[in-house]
């Protein structure tokens, strides 16, 4: 298994491998992901901060409750933390998230008290990441979501725990790689012609695969569209041969 991992990490051609992986996932999950409303950067920041360790439908409901209870993000920034905590009470770590959310909104407010992230549009992806990750509770996953999926539409790849697990099983990154490390390793491998939208779709396809097939405790390899590309868990010879074919071109 180590030889397969060493081969894949050391050889050129991983960009083409990711392109093939993307195509196989698109062909398998036809019509996915569905279209969704693109949010402004501040709204996406709030959504992403609520979403950590929380089911998507729960964080979306909490976000909708904030929108329903307050006129704008300025009002949320000015609200008592305990009130925010009550409204988002169904998300995981609601007390911590409420405090971080109010602090983050205060830090991104302009002189008039209006929270805004529009200044990130003029920044490079790297500079914008650094700026966002200085906010309380914002790591590389949340920063990438704000930059990529909001109307900023920057080329930044969201990597969550599902995505990371599959990257490790495919041996694109080493075991026990952090999300921050995986981001820095995988971003340079993405095809240069991929738009921000394609990067978003790429992440969503990985997430879908991790939710329904390549799961934490049980990987349904027989149903996986990446079966022949993947050395996990007992297909090292087949995986090595297929990856060699991809990376040799």
Residue with tokens 């080329």: 155
- The rounded distance, in Å, linking the Cα atoms of 58 and 64 is 10
Using the 8-state DSSP alphabet, how is residue 54 labeled? S
Q: Would you say residue 59 has pLDDT above 60?
A: yes
Q: Residue 17's closest CA among 30, 26, 8, 28? A: 8
173-218 per-position pLDDT tens digit: 999 999 999 999 999 999 999 999 999 999 999 999 999 999 999 8
Does residue 227 sit in helix, strand or coil?
helix
- pLDDT band with cut points at 50, 70 and 90 for residue 12: low
- pLDDT of the residue at 235: 52
Domains of the chain in sequence order: 2-34+158-247 (1.10.1670.10), 41-149 (1.10.340.30)
Over pLDDT 90: what percentage of the chain? Answer: 80
- SS3 per-residue string spanning 166-224: HHHHCCCCCCCCCHHHHHHHHHHHCCCCCCHHHHHHHHHHHHHHHHHCECCCCECHHHC
What is the average per-residue pLDDT within 51-80? 96
103-136 per-position pLDDT tens digit: 999 999 987 789 999 999 999 999 999 999 999 9
Residue 97 — left, alpha, or beta (φ > 0 → left; ψ -120 to 50 → alpha)?
A: alpha
Q: Would you say residue 10 has pLDDT above 90?
A: no
**Contact between 124 and 11 (Cβ < 8 Å):** no
State the average pLDDT for the chain: 90
């Amino acid at each position: 298994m180590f030889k397969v991992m060493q081969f894949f990490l050391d050889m050129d051609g991983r960009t083409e491998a990711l392109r093939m992986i993307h195509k196989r996932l698109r062909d398998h999950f036809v019509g996915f992901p569905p279209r969704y409303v693109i949010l402004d950067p501040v709204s996406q920041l709030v959504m992403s901060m609520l979403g950590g360790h929380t089911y998507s439908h729960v964080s979306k409901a909490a976000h909708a409750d904030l929108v329903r209870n307050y006129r704008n993000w300025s009002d949320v920034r000015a609200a008592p933390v305990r009130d925010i905590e009550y409204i988002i009470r169904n998300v995981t770590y609601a007390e911590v998230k409420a405090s971080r959310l109010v602090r983050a909104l205060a830090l991104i407010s302009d002189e008039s008290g209006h929270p805004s992230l529009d200044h990130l549009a003029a920044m490079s992806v790297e500079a914008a990441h650094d700026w966002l990750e200085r906010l309380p509770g914002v790591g590389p996953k949340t920063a990438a979501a704000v930059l990529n999926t909001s109307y900023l539409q920057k080329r930044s790849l969201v990597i969550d725990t599902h995505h990371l697990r599959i990257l490790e099983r495919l041996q694109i990154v080493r075991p026990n790689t952090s999300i921050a490390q995986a981001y820095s390793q995988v971003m340079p491998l993405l095809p240069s012609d991929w738009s921000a939208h394609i990067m978003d779709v790429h992440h969503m396809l990985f997430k879908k695969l991790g939710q329904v097939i390549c799961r934490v405790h049980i990987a349904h390899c027989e149903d996986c569209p990446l079966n022949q590309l993947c050395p996990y868990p007992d297909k090292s010879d087949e995986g090595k041969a297929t990856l060699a074919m991809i990376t040799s071109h």
